[in-house]
């Protein structure tokens, strides 16, 4: 069994930070070893240094392989239910009245940033389908991005074990998913066509189209170095339409929100209207 030396850990820690923004603390060393070991075997390599040198030689293409290996993809549909209650009970009525006053001139754009295997993005599409007036729900688009190509591939398949869907509101599972013979549930085409999945690194410029009506970037920054987190918050806030909403994870509240950003509910922020 391969062991990672202090210097090999330092090389990977710095590389991961540079490519993904994720800060690997010393206690993550065993996790990193366990995640990378299968990659060493797959490449028939005998040391972590050899694998590091290989990744470095890939240049920017290393990011996908590295992200597949080091990211944490824990997620589920309707994660943190109080935030979905707030989205449906407070944000949606505001969008409905805005749509009425602008005669539907602006397409509501939602972004699940760091969407992992897609449950959060499908939850957005379900919330809209179930709680927005039909015409507005049809206009709505969800962009869902993640740095991990493997997570995005799974997201596009839209196939989940029941545990990942257990928090959905009553009846939503049968309305939006079909049961498969192997016990998984498959997102129905009407749900899948509402969501566009893309591989995207949040350290790179924000994907077009902007501005977004709602951005969910939940349980992503918690893994980032502080300076990276601050830069990302600034960019996410800039990508919001005036009056747009930013949802962070429950433990990611902003102690010092950027100018023009108001705290509206636990880990929920709104860009001020002009
Ligand atoms: C714990 S999951 C959160 C999923 C979902 N947002 C939720 O709250 O359930 C964190 C996700 O962030 C992604 N991630 C980490 N660093 C990233 C980066 N630099 N750019 C884009 N996504 C990143 C990971 O690949 C992982 O899928």
Give residue 198's pLDDT.
Answer: 96
Structural domain span for residue 32: 6-70
Structural domain tally of the chain?
2
Residues 190 and 60 occupy one common structural domain: no
The CATH number of whichever domain residue 61 belongs to comes to: 1.10.155.10
Q: Is 35 a catalytic residue?
A: yes
Any domain includes 247: yes
Residues 46 and 109 occupy one common structural domain: no
Any domain includes 60: yes
Distance 63 CA to ligand 1 centre (A): 14
Any domain includes 1: no
Distance 250 CA to ligand 1 centre (A): 14
Q: Note whether 72 and 102 are within 8 A (CB).
A: no
* Mean pLDDT, residues 149-153: 96
Taking CA atoms, 21 is separated from 66, 67, 78, 98, 135, in Å, by: 12, 11, 26, 36, 39
Q: How confident is the model at residue 230 (pLDDT cuts 50, 70, 90)?
A: very high
Q: What pLDDT, in 10s, does the model give residues 26-69?
A: 999 999 999 999 999 999 999 999 999 999 999 888 999 999 88
pLDDT at 105 over 80: no
* pTM (predicted TM-score): 0.96
Residues 62 and 152 occupy one common structural domain: no
Q: What pLDDT, in 10s, does the model give residues 251-261?
A: 999 999 999 99
Give residue 104's pLDDT.
Answer: 57
**Residue tagged active-site, from 6, 14, 25, 35:** 35
Residues 199 and 131 occupy one common structural domain: yes
Q: What pLDDT, in 10s, does the model give residues 155-180?
A: 999 999 999 999 999 999 999 999 99
Any domain includes 118: yes
The CATH number of whichever domain residue 97 belongs to comes to: 3.40.50.150
Q: Which of 48, 70, 92 is the last residue of a domain?
A: 70
Backbone angles phi, psi at 42, to 5 degrees: -60, -35
Supply angle C-alpha 64, 68, 70, rounded to 5.
115
Burial 127-159 (b: 16+ CB within 10 A, else e): bbbebbeeebbeebbbbbbbbbebbbebbbebb
Measured in whole angstroms, how far is the alpha carbon of residue 101 from the centre of its chain? 31
pLDDT at 208 over 90: no
Residues 145 and 199 occupy one common structural domain: yes
Mean pLDDT, the chain, whole residue set: 94
Residues 31 and 155 occupy one common structural domain: no
């Amino acid at each position: 069994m391969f062991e990672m030396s202090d210097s090999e850990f330092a090389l990977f820690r710095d590389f991961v930070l540079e490519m993904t923004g994720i800060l690997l603390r010393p206690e993550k060393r065993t996790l990193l070893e366990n995640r990378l070991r299968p990659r060493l075997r797959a490449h028939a390599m005998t040391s972590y240094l050899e694998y590091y040198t290989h990744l470095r030689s890939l240049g920017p293409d290393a990011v996908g392989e590295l992200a597949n290996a080091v990211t944490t993809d824990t997620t589920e549909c309707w994660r943190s239910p109080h935030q979905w209650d707030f989205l449906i009970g407070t944000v949606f009525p505001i969008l409905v009245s805005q749509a009425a006053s602008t005669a539907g001139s602006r397409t509501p754009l939602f972004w699940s940033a760091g969407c992992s295997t897609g449950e959060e993005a499908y939850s957005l599409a379900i919330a809209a389908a179930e709680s927005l007036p039909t015409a507005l729900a049809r206009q709505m688009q969800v962009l869902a991005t993640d740095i991990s190509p493997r997570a995005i591939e799974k997201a596009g398949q839209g196939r989940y074990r029941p545990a990942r869907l257990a928090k959905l509101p009553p009846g939503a599972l049968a309305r939006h998913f079909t049961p498969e013979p192997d016990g998984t549930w498959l997102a129905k085409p009407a749900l899948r066509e509402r969501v566009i999945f893309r591989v995207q690194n949040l350290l790179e410029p924000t994907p077009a189209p902007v501005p977004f009506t709602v951005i969910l970037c939940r349980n992503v920054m918690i893994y980032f170095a502080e300076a990276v987190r601050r830069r990302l918050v600034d960019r996410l806030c800039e990508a919001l339409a005036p009056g747009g909403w930013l949802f962070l994870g429950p433990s990611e509240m902003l102690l010092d929100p950027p100018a023009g950003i108001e705290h509206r509910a636990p880990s929920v922020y709104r860009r001020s209207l002009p």
